[in-house]
Amino acid sequence: MAESITTRAKDFAQWYQDVIRQGDLAENAEVVRGCMVIKPHGYAIWEKIQADLDRRFKATGHKNAYFPLLIPKSFLAKEAQHVDGFAMECAVVTHSGLRAVKDASGKVSIEVKNKLEEEYVIRPTSETIIGHFFAKWIQSYRNLPLLINQWANVMRWEMRTRLFLRTTEFLWQEGHTAHADHEDSLREVHRMLDVYADFAENVMAMPVIRGKKTNSEKFAGALDSFCIEAMMQDGKALQAGTSHDLGQNFGRAFDVKFQSKEGREEFVWQTSWGVSTRLVGGLIMTHSDDAGLVLPPKLAPIHVAIVPIFKSDDDKARVLEACVKVRDAAVAVGLVCELDDRDDMRPGSKHYEWEQKGVPVRIELGPRDVDGGVCVVKRRDRDPKEKTSVAIEGIGAVLTGLMDEIQKGLYERALAFRKAHTVRADTYDELKTALDGDGKIGNFVLAHWDGTAETEAKIKEETKATIRCIPFEHDGETGVCVLTGKPSAQRVIFARAY
């Protein structure tokens, strides 16, 4: 069965699918084009992501609300860039009913009926419909800032889909805020980008680079988009979260006006920001290995799995008793612990299952361990042959310590990986070579760029790499564009991306 996961070195894309299948995280819906079913173990990870982020949103003053799934078709046209960005990929609702029809042979078919006067689209994002309501809710500077978040499903009809990373329907949160001036809205844009970055690094154990998107990569309708970019284990970039400075674009499009302190009528300044189930894909590709899923303890639905080992019924009783003691100790320190006492499965298969589900710590406990008052501990982030014998007395504190170590260790390993695959390039040839890396694992390449869309497009066409972001952190070094030789204020990050 171990063969059922392709190695990363052999075929990274296949490895990713195998890890998801063996971890029982999700599957393609097939009968609904480009959609997925998120299975219980995958959904449990998403719930943990949601809970942590939701707490952070509320702690920064945001309130959750819920807006309609459907958006009148005409709304999309109100912001010119927005319609260009999203119209092509909208699911369109044209009718409000079906009718069963029987043909002469008695076969039932279903006909579409009740054509709508105006079609609706299923929200690809909610700036337009929320803009409409903001216009009703905001009259004066006293109503500002208005800080709203929505947890919802959205649809974008994608041509090529991939579990978690790009699906026609996905789950996400979208923050939408309105402010009295640009200074305040920009502060919000950066505050939420920081919330995302902190969450990615401290909860997902996934290092990220903060930066600004180029004009060609920004959100359709924004003045500027900011992002966090992470490196996956194939050296490709994953855009993990975005925060947009919408300026007054949607305020103008939806007539969201307020009376300022000085009594003037002004358009509000808006932001929007979002992360999605795509994060689960990022989590998988950051930490997992050739044996399957690896999860950071802070997002693991199960922290510890205990597998009892025994042959005789006599042994069974004493072993299970000791297992319960370990489980209780784990639960007492706040960990979620699964005592795997299934009768119809061998210990080896159980271990294998918990390994593939990414449980951070697995414990084996047999009769000889009971005699010695110990249990055998295996860490998911280490070589599977590595085992430690740990006293049952005081195991709670040991497990807590292990969780911290694993959490920290995964982050450090991912950071070291990114550093090892981040290089500088000073010529176009260097850039091209550097992007390929060793042929298996690509690089993030820091290179100078002249700031034009033309150069960006040419490099993208020739190398398949995009500018992931103009990073906030840089050494201040100026230079000349690798393609055109024109001046450049700082290096940007080129990479191939998901």
Binding residues (CB under 8 A) for a copy of itself: these are: 29, 31-32, 35-40, 43-44, 46-47, 63-77, 80, 83-84, 87-100, 108-110, 112, 114, 119-122, 129, 132-133, 142, 148, 152-153, 155, 157, 169, 171, 344
Kindly tell me which of 78 and 380 has the beta carbon lying closer to a copy of itself.
78
SS (H, E, C) 360-402: CEEEEECHHHHHHCEEEEEECCCCCCCCEEEECCCHHHHHHHH
Tell which residue, 352, 372, 373, has the closest CA to residue 362.
Answer: 352
Q: Which string of DSSP letters, residue by residue, matches 123-137? A: -SS-HHHHHHHHHHH
Entry field: residues in the chain: 498
Kindly tell me which of 38 and 240 has the beta carbon lying closer to a copy of itself.
38
Quote the CA–CA distance of 42 and 48 in Å, as a whole number: 10
Kindly tell me which of 342 and 368 has the beta carbon lying closer to a copy of itself.
342
Report, in Å, the least distance between residue 64 CB and a copy of itself: 5
Report, in Å, the least distance between residue 184 CB and a copy of itself: 18
Kindly tell me which of 74 and 388 has the beta carbon lying closer to a copy of itself.
74
Report, in Å, the least distance between residue 372 CB and a copy of itself: 34
Report, in Å, the least distance between residue 426 CB and a copy of itself: 43
Report, in Å, the least distance between residue 280 CB and a copy of itself: 11
Spell out the alpha helix ranges (H) of 216-303.
249-253, 278-287
Kindly tell me which of 279 and 482 has the beta carbon lying closer to a copy of itself.
279
Cα angle for residues 289, 241, 421 (degrees, 5° grid): 45
Kindly tell me which of 33 and 440 has the beta carbon lying closer to a copy of itself.
33
Report, in Å, the least distance between residue 199 CB and a copy of itself: 20
177 three-class SS: strand
Quote the CA–CA distance of 238 and 165 in Å, as a whole number: 9
CB–CB of 406/297 below 8 Å?
A: yes
**Amino acid (1-letter code) at residue 34:** G
Kindly tell me which of 84 and 412 has the beta carbon lying closer to a copy of itself.
84
Report, in Å, the least distance between residue 295 CB and a copy of itself: 17
482 three-class SS: coil
